[in-house]
Amino acid sequence: MNLRPDREGDVWLFVYGVLAADPPFAYQDRAKATLPGFRRSFCLHDPFNRGTEQAPGLVLGLEPGEGCDGLAYRIAAKDLREGLSAVWRQEMRFPCYEPIWRQASLPDGSRTILTFDANRNGPFYRPEPDEAQAAAIIAARAGPAGTNRAYLDETIRAFRAAGVVDPYLDGVQMRTSKARSTARSTAI
């Protein structure tokens, strides 16, 4: 990980996936944020939580792109050790992500924030399938942490509650619903 730019004080963490549904850390503030130059992408295969080794699910990663809206959480300096340890345990157990400091736009200006980019050199990275393929995988996969569909739905619900709307996630969700309906009707 590149070094923390200011080396002390509070830390802002950029959240763009299901972590927004139930953050495992105490935070002082939360704000909408835009990370320029990156987009969320179902580019990480998940054989551990939302899928299995034989049928991995898909989870979100950050990849270069047009920009990504998400949430920035301010973790107070006094809570950093405990808060970031919880995030590390959840997000860094497997080589899926790379923690990187980036500039993001918040309502009160630009800030340096901690992001977790997709580890494009890691064993779980795959170029993102098209929306229809991603939806078919998400509709059909499940693992010890629940269905891949619940991962998508929880992510969208958390962002909508905070006023963040993502047409990409909405499109995948719509296609996932169609894929599930088609699978049910062909099974009958």
pLDDT 10s digits, 114-126: 999 999 999 999 9
Confidence of residue 179 (pLDDT cuts 50, 70, 90): confident
Q: Lowest-pLDDT range, 5-14, 16-25, 90-99, 135-144?
A: 5-14
124: closest CA among 35, 167, 60, 181? Answer: 60
Counting residues of the chain whose pLDDT is more than 70, the rounded percentage is: 91
DSSP lists the bridge partners of residue 70 as 33
7-17: b or e for each residue (b if 16 or more CB lie within 10 Å)? eeeebbbbbbb
What pLDDT is recorded for position 187?
42
Question: Which residues carry out catalysis?
Answer: 91
Phi, psi for residue 134 in degrees, rounded to 5: -60, -45
Confidence of residue 183 (pLDDT cuts 50, 70, 90): low
What pLDDT is recorded for position 94?
86
Say how many C-beta atoms besides its own lie within 10 A of residue 127's C-beta.
Answer: 8
Confidence of residue 162 (pLDDT cuts 50, 70, 90): very high
Q: What's the mean pLDDT when you consider all of the chain?
A: 92
CATH number of 11-187: 3.10.490.10
What pLDDT is recorded for position 185?
40
**Rounded distance between C-alpha atoms, residue 87 and residue 167, angstroms:** 27
For CA atoms 53, 136, 133, 71, the dihedral sign is: negative
